[in-house]
Amino acid sequence: QKEVEQNSGPLSVPEGAIASLNCTYSDRGSQSFFWYRQYSGKSPELIMFIYSNGDKEDGRFTAQLNKASQYVSLLIRDSQPSDSATYLCAVRIYGQNFVFGPGTRLSVLP
Amino acid sequence: DGGITQSPKYLFRKEGQNVTLSCEQNLNHDAMYWYRQDPGQGLRLIYYSQIVNDFQKGDIAEGYSVSREKKESFPLTVTSAQKNPTAFYLCASSINSNEQFFGPGTRLTVL
């Protein structure tokens, strides 16, 4: 069974710090990796996707993918209280559907 | 103004009732999906459709039914056979089965 695992948290970081969110997946055939942000009571919002090994940067967000170790991470620089949310990792194998992790709750403390 | 809409935002169901959740998109996306989210859990796939008039069961299809008569619309019916339907229901769409974009969700509660 395909699995995506995340630490449920909460992960607490002070304002201005770097938040590091991690995700591991079980299926080596996984090809596409996504990070969604979900505020309490709201629907998930896509913030990053990555397909190749290495880093991908978008503003304060950096996604890191290591297929050999089967993990993908999300770094949030200069964390703000507005970044407080649950972050969902999603993995997709080509031609198949997404598998979502349970999410990590991030709390950025002012 | 393109996007995905879901209605209603909140829905209450009595025991033994069937209810239908609406999902509409004007993004011209081919693929549409229905997920269920329970507190503290990830999203679980109920049904998906890659093309009009065709759909497939996801991981937890029992007690649910769908139709895809139009590209823009993918309604979900929660039947009385679904024994624990209280959850947050999310509809999503994608243009090439890659990035998925979500609607605002419907919160269903069984009375």
CB contact under 8 A, A34 and B33: no
Across chain B, mean pLDDT equals: 93
Minimal CA separation from A95 to chain B, in Å: 8
**Is B96 in CB contact (< 8 Å) with chain A?**
no
Residue that is written with structure tokens 């995700």 in the block: A23
Say yes or no to pLDDT of B61 above 80: yes
Structure tokens given for A53: 């090994």
Mutating which of A32, A39, A97, A104 best tests the B interface, going by the most B Cβ atoms within 10 A? A97
Distance CA(A58)–CA(A64), nearest Å, equals 12
pLDDT given for residue A65 in this prediction: 96
Nearest to A65 by CA among A97, A34, A108: A34
Q: Which residue of B has its CA nearest to A1?
A: B59
- Rounded to an integer, the average pLDDT of B27-44 is 92
Q: How many CB atoms lie within 10 A of CB B62?
A: 11
Distance CA(B64)–CA(B83), nearest Å, equals 11
Q: How many CB pairs under 8 A join A and B?
A: 44
pLDDT given for residue A95 in this prediction: 72
Beta strands in chain A (DSSP E): 4-6, 11-14, 19-25, 30-38, 45-50, 54-58, 61-66, 71-76, 85-93, 98-100, 104-109
Task: Look at strands A104-109 and A85-93 and give their pairing.
Answer: antiparallel
Condensed to tens digits (0 to 9), the pLDDT of residues A53-100 reads 999 999 999 999 999 999 999 999 999 999 999 999 999 987 778 899
CB contact under 8 A, A103 and B101: no
**Is B105 in CB contact (< 8 Å) with chain A?**
yes
